[in-house]
Structure 1
């Protein structure tokens, strides 16, 4: 699509595309990080160790499926043309699976717990695959020099959506198991029973309804590619195109280095997101409401970070933003694994009675750093992928991008699960993310960004 056509995209079309991040982010905020994940590990599973391990295996196995299928589906979409039918189809899967989480009660029997993990897997598949096709639409909306701002603003909007839903959950739906009151001191709305954790479980239906409503502007107003071929030859052509692209990767040093680097740092970041709330619940003994406050802090920082990162992307280039963000995430991760109820940076900070609030404060600050750096990192990574891609194979490119984010996505959660089980320690279990961040830095110097200065 030429720049003239891009400039003709209406504001409604661009806002419709941006609202996808607003619609999808609550899944990551409520389900994978701050509400349902710690609820599952601390209340559904028998204990925190088993819960963190089971959750890690479920997310890791789903990641393998996403890695295998994303490039194929992306290439198929390029061959057939339109992306919105794919977004719609996978959004339906995500909505149905998320809604099913309502039926996973505390202290569930083994079969119910397994069905809950299967529902999480299908929900993750739905949200991730719909994001692949949404990302592929981005380069057709604005000229290249505006992509950084568009991606950053969209990601910031997503964080605000996640924040809004988190405040809604904590302020009006999730009740403390002892007092029965929400964070704002209200009784949970809709008669939600705190004793059976109905507020925590309601994160599933809320996520589903939120996506179903706010994906509508994208489907109605955002322009899509025209159909370019019949279904009869689409699969064969898409697989041939993907095969040729994979064969050419060794000759494309910048693209290959970026895919490998992003594969490592996004896996590490997803590990932090997936296990941050679980870690706080186990190590610092935080309640769901405390974890939710942590999520509010992280989401506010994420929105600001993504917006500011978009500005810096336009000024200094995507690669520069990505590099600095990885360093910030390494710093925050080291602080986190060195912190428990009585220690910060492995130093005892408790008083004679063994009491201190400093670890909680430090963890909140690390959450802000992770939110800001993570939001900016993901927004600029999406823009940097555009610089590596063939404009005529954008769906395939973002399929490979999803592959790079998921090909080793099982490493962080399964490594965390393995180390947690092996050492019976959540602190040691979370350390693999640091190594993944460090390894990603060795590949970034070989990546080229069109706007790097």
Structure 2
């Protein structure tokens, strides 16, 4: 239910609705607004990289992981609702991108604490299916909220409470719905998850926290080099997966000509496909191991991404089938990555290790946005076209391919059998 409740930030805000809204012509020309989105995304990633391991470690030391998660979830709900103030005017471009960036940081830090609670609801032999089911529930929750805001506010000329598209009110009111959704539907998770009683470690300062994190990294490299190799490999491919989410809907509108309403309908269909596929691949995770799931998913995404670039002139007729096919493999790679690491976490170290997981991902989180923006500029230089947004696809493909290559050398920690 936490996945279900917080999914509006990922599905509605980051991917299919607000990200499309904020790069609309009302805020500026397509290339400049898209580049601004990429820059703000990269800056948010930098802050996550700096904060995640320290905050995760402090949650472990205090024994208040769930308490921290609860507060972070409430803040995320508030930031989602705050996007209501972003009117479709150039002056509000960086206001919207600023709130979006802060929300991304809070979402990632909350995710660190959330991931570290997985051992409360799964065993080592069932963690693959539990991780996949949770991720799948997030996708399915995304469908419901997308359809709710589409039919209640965006699709009708006059929606509920007299809401229209004038002054972007349909999108802005949808942000209020997202905040309320997160606030309400995460309640069941906090009725089940609890802080575990443990002796509280002494509080340490920021500098000492970073020293302890560095000591943990050195120790981890000594006792489990394969874990370090996985953290580095996953940093690459998870950044590529994040790029698919961050820029997929932007490409749908700017390159393939889908309307804002069409993007939402596509998002609903994509979430159905992704949710069911992620749950199914979770079962394969426990049978075959997460490494195989990750490699198959990344290989497929690289091939499909190249296909979308080559066939981009086909418009919506190309984007719909290939875009939906791509969603089959994004969720399984993410869920399998989480289950891979969850099997390695020592007791009482979940926050710190998942903090390192978030940090290694965010240390290179500038790569996808930077590659996306770089290839747009390269496309403009090569073709001379005014709109070369579709070249950004190659930037995302490049990062995914690098992650695939790095993952080939990672050793799994054990044989996998069905419980």
Per the alignment, residue 27 of structure 2 pairs with 45
> Residue 127 of structure 2 contacts residue 343 of structure 2 at CA under 8 Å; is this kept in 1?
no
**1:262 aligns to 2:262 (yes or no):** no
Query: How far 1:231 sits from its partner (Å)?
Result: 5.4
**1:447 aligns to 2:411 (yes or no):** yes
Query: Tell me, which stretches of 5 or more residues in structure 1 are unaligned?
Result: 1-18, 182-186, 344-358
Note closer, same or farther for the CA distance 1:272–1:232 as it changes in structure 2 (3 Å cut). closer
User: How far, CA to CA, are the matches of 2:415 and 2:334 in structure 1?
Assistant: 17
Deviations 1:163-216 (A, max 9, x none): 1011112222113xxxx53xxxxx311211213221222232122111111121
> Residue 76 of structure 1 contacts residue 235 of structure 1 at CA under 8 Å; is this kept in 2?
no
Q: For residues 110-259 of structure 1, what are the structure 2 equivalents within 5 Å?
A: 110=91, 112-175=92-155, 181=157, 187-229=158-200, 232-233=203-204, 238-251=209-222, 252-259=224-231
Q: For residues 270-309 of structure 1, what are the structure 2 equivalents within 5 Å?
A: 270-309=242-281
Deviations 1:339-380 (A, max 9, x none): 32x34xxxxxxxxxxxxxxx4233112222222211111111
User: How far, CA to CA, are the matches of 1:259 and 1:23 in structure 2?
Assistant: 27
Query: How far 1:230 sits from its partner (Å)?
Result: 5.4
Per the alignment, residue 90 of structure 2 pairs with 109
Deviations 1:9-33 (A, max 9, x none): xxxxxxxxxx110011111110111
Equivalent of residue 334 in structure 2, options 358, 378, 381? 378
Note closer, same or farther for the CA distance 1:254–1:287 as it changes in structure 2 (3 Å cut). same
Normalised by the length of structure 1, the TM-score is: 0.86
Query: How far 1:338 sits from its partner (Å)?
Result: 1.8
User: How far, CA to CA, are the matches of 1:447 and 1:170 in structure 2?
Assistant: 45
> Residue 153 of structure 1 contacts residue 310 of structure 1 at CA under 8 Å; is this kept in 2?
yes
Note closer, same or farther for the CA distance 1:394–1:126 as it changes in structure 2 (3 Å cut). same
**1:98 aligns to 2:54 (yes or no):** no
Equivalent of residue 430 in structure 1, options 370, 393, 397? 393
Deviations 1:59-105 (A, max 9, x none): 11001100111011111111111211211222232122211211111
Note closer, same or farther for the CA distance 1:73–1:365 as it changes in structure 2 (3 Å cut). same
Per the alignment, residue 353 of structure 2 pairs with 397
Deviations 1:249-291 (A, max 9, x none): 4433211111111111111111111111111111112100111
Per the alignment, residue 61 of structure 1 pairs with 43
Normalised by the length of structure 2, the TM-score is: 0.92
**1:75 aligns to 2:57 (yes or no):** yes
Deviations 1:412-438 (A, max 9, x none): 112212332454410112311111111
> Residue 297 of structure 1 contacts residue 364 of structure 1 at CA under 8 Å; is this kept in 2?
no
User: How far, CA to CA, are the matches of 2:257 and 2:60 in structure 1?
Assistant: 48
Per the alignment, residue 5 of structure 1 pairs with none
SS class of match (2:414): coil
Note closer, same or farther for the CA distance 1:302–1:127 as it changes in structure 2 (3 Å cut). same
Note closer, same or farther for the CA distance 1:48–1:244 as it changes in structure 2 (3 Å cut). same
User: How far, CA to CA, are the matches of 1:202 and 1:231 in structure 2?
Assistant: 45
Per the alignment, residue 325 of structure 2 pairs with 369
Q: How many residues align?
A: 408
> Residue 67 of structure 2 contacts residue 195 of structure 2 at CA under 8 Å; is this kept in 1?
no
User: How far, CA to CA, are the matches of 1:423 and 1:319 in structure 2?
Assistant: 34
Query: How far 1:235 sits from its partner (Å)?
Result: 6.2
Per the alignment, residue 67 of structure 2 pairs with 85
Q: For residues 5-44 of structure 1, what are the structure 2 equivalents within 5 Å?
A: 19-44=1-26
User: How far, CA to CA, are the matches of 1:206 and 1:339 in structure 2?
Assistant: 37
Query: How far 1:121 sits from its partner (Å)?
Result: 1.1
> Residue 367 of structure 2 contacts residue 399 of structure 2 at CA under 8 Å; is this kept in 1?
no
Per the alignment, residue 384 of structure 2 pairs with none
SS class of match (1:409): coil
Cα root mean square deviation, aligned: 1.9
Query: How far 1:313 sits from its partner (Å)?
Result: 0.8
User: How far, CA to CA, are the matches of 2:379 and 2:278 in structure 1?
Assistant: 36
Query: Tell me, which stretches of 5 or more residues in structure 2 are unaligned?
Result: 381-387
> Residue 318 of structure 1 contacts residue 451 of structure 1 at CA under 8 Å; is this kept in 2?
no
Per the alignment, residue 338 of structure 1 pairs with 310
SS class of match (1:209): helix
